[in-house]
Chains A and B, each alone.
Chain A
Amino acid sequence: NAGVMQNPRHLVRRRGQEARLRCSPMKGHSHVYWYRQLPEEGLKFMVYLQKENIIDESGMPKERFSAEFPKEGPSILRIQQVVRGDSAAYFCASSPGGFGNQPQHFGDGTRLSIL
């Protein structure tokens, strides 16, 4: 499967724990995007990364959230000290370039539940 791979598909954490979500882009894609989908809402942009660089993090909450896309390995979205309001579906997308006319391809998401 050459699509965008996200894992885990489901993640359960207790309040105060850390959550790590992983995303491997499509083969040949070097641009990664993270979006959050809250219940009954559309997707909201969080962050846009290229290898080793954060290009746009205008949608990231100021605290507890961080993202990286290292030279080797998947992109990671990290949420520290999770709270109930972090419960959502987190989607990763990738594209071959950073131009808006190159459609983004999405993974199946990680559904995060906070107990």
Chain B
Amino acid sequence: AQSVTQLDSQVPVFEEAPVELRCNYSSSVSVYLFWYVQYPNQGLQLLLKYLSGSTLVESINGFEAEFNKSQTSFHLRKPSVHISDTAEYFCALTLQGAQKLVFGQGTRLTINP
């Protein structure tokens, strides 16, 4: 069975500091990987995805994630966070050829001024 583990349930950081949200996955077959962001009382919004090709993927708002097959990781990073980045972040996977998403437990990112 496939699984996703987000190692930190909460991450507090100061504004303009760098941040890394960790995600590890377990699967015996190839997967697609995603990061979603959830703002309070809203649905999930796709932040970025890894399907194939370059292992470093970027979003339009400064986040990036790197697929590391040997370490089965897909950590999310941002060099300088803003107050508006306060949200819950979910790492997820699908099996190639499958449809359902398998989610991690989520990491709550809190930005302090």
User: A104's contact among B42, B95, B101, by CB below 8 Å, is which?
Assistant: B101
A101 / chain B contacts, CB cutoff of 8 Å: 32, 51, 96
The verdict on A45 contacting B102 (CB below 8 Å), with A100-B94, A101-B51 known, is yes
Contact A105 B46 (CB under 8 A): yes
Q: How far is the CA of A98 from the CA of B99 in the complex (A)?
A: 6
**Chain A 57-93 near chain B by CB (<8 Å), digits 1 or 0:** 0110000000000000000000000000000000101
Contact A103 B103 (CB under 8 A): no
User: B105's contact among A33, A42, A103, A108, by CB below 8 Å, is which?
Assistant: A42
Which B residues, 67 to 113, have Cβ-Cβ distances below 8 Å to chain A? Answer: 90, 94-106
Which B residues, 39 to 76, have Cβ-Cβ distances below 8 Å to chain A? Answer: 41-46, 49, 51
Residue B25 at the A interface, CB < 8 A?
no
Contact A33 B100 (CB under 8 A): yes
Residue A25 at the B interface, CB < 8 A?
no
The verdict on A48 contacting B100 (CB below 8 Å), with A4-B43, A107-B43 known, is yes
Query: What 18 additional pairs, Cβ within 8 angstroms, besides A100-B97, A100-B99, A101-B96?
Result: A6-B43, A33-B99, A35-B103, A41-B106, A42-B4, A42-B90, A42-B105, A42-B106, A45-B102, A59-B100, A91-B44, A93-B101, A95-B99, A103-B34, A103-B46, A105-B46, A106-B44, A106-B45
